[in-house]
Amino acid sequence: MFANNFSNEKKLVILHIGVVDASLHPITYKFKVIRHVPILGKYLWYLSAKALKPFRARIMGIWKYSITKPSKFSKELEKIVKFLLERGVLICVLLTPIPHKDLEYRSPGFRENVRKYDLLKSKICEKFPEVHVTSLVKFKDSYYVNNLDGHHYSKSGHSYIFLMKLNHWDF
């Protein structure tokens, strides 16, 4: 089983994936092809994006999309887990904390989509009892860089993940 692990030391891989996959985009993002128009493209996209930004939430109420389909996400995560397990690696899959509450105003449905992708992660990991799943349910809004970004972690957010979750494991 551990034939491809060329060390006597245990290896740990922390998989923290899914927030970008779960993110929702307004249909206007598909208009980014404007950037490829010679000479004026980048400027035209800049003006268009600036004009559309105040209406982002309304646009998303009409039409939004996720770049990564749930079925594709599930397949890829399962492939990654199998690959790592074949190499005798300890695996911790972090569930994605719910994005900052202010992000929901800009991207309606994002928080619910994170829940759906976390459920997918949990279902995949149930197939592999040796994989540790860590919930970040008690992740605070103050653990994000700021409320406008809403999904990148501050230093205190990273510390929370380490001190409250990973540091308690006995590997």
In tens, the pLDDT along 28-82 reads 777 788 888 888 888 888 888 888 888 888 888 888 888 889 999 999 999 999 9
Domains, the chain, with CATH or none: 1-24+68-171 (3.40.50.1110), 25-65 (no CATH)
Residue 152 has pLDDT above 90, yes or no: no
Q: Return the pLDDT at 1.
A: 45
Q: Within a 10 A sphere around the Cβ of 121, how many other Cβ atoms?
A: 22
pLDDT greater than 80 at residue 161: yes
Yes or no: say if 158 and 164 are a contact pair by the CB < 8 Å rule. no
Kindly tell me if the per-residue pLDDT of 15 is higher than 50: yes
DSSP string, 78-126: HHHHHHHHHTT-EEEEEPPPPPPTTHHHHSTTHHHHHHHHHHHHHHHHH
pLDDT tens digit string along 92-133? 999 998 888 888 888 888 889 999 999 999 999 999 999 999
What are the structure tokens assigned to 136, written together?
A: 């970040």
Pairing verdict, β 25-26 and 64-65 = antiparallel
Rounded to whole angstroms, how far apart are CA atoms 141 and 20?
Answer: 18
